[in-house]
Amino acid sequence: MSPVTEDETIRSRVAHRAALLFLALAALLPPLPAGARMRLDQLWLVTASGEHRIEIEVAVSEQEKSLGLMFRTTLGAGKGMLFPYDRPQEVTMWMRNTFIPLDMVFIRADGVVHRIEAGAEPMNESLIESKGPVTGVLELDAGSAARLGIVPGSRVRHSHFGAAAGSSAQP
């Protein structure tokens, strides 16, 4: 084994053990106070198979966006996290310290789905790019995009995406 490969193996083992230690310690901690949680909301995905309500947490602050879904071990069906941005921009995400596979839905300012990264691999530090200007990223449990029929061109209804995308009121 070359020194580089050996070093990479050691780093991988240390990272894995650190993640396990964090999970063990997190299980001993009390839950976050209600005020420390991200804002809860809902949005609708409009696809060829119909309209689907998703309960979301909204990561508004830079701290919330940095944390995202890190260290979570589950994300239920019909639930997700929205990362809103003030202006259209190229957005990059990654899966560092994220233990569950995710679908990432990149959404343009008008509420139209631009691109989907299906089944993003847990703990992977490779950058996942929007590949175009977007104002939001919706993270869902892996497989949700296929199950719900979300494809580029599908619509997202939420107040963040403006009048062109519809309101966040129930259809």
What per-residue confidence (pLDDT) applies to 162? 78
Residue 18 region, left (φ>0) first, then alpha (ψ -120 to 50), else beta?
A: alpha
Instruction: For strands 155-157 and 39-47, give the pairing.
Output: antiparallel
Model confidence pLDDT, tens digit, residues 29-77: 444 434 457 999 999 999 999 999 999 999 999 999 999 999 999 999 9
> What is the rounded distance in angstroms from the CA atom of residue 68 to the CA atom of residue 70?
6
Model confidence pLDDT, tens digit, residues 113-130: 999 999 999 999 999 999
What per-residue confidence (pLDDT) applies to 166? 42
Q: How many CB atoms are located within 10 Å of the residue 46 CB?
A: 20
Note the pTM of the prediction, 2 decimals.
0.76
**Strand order of the sheet with strand 50-58?**
113-120, 102-107, 134-141, 79-89, 50-58, 39-47, 155-157
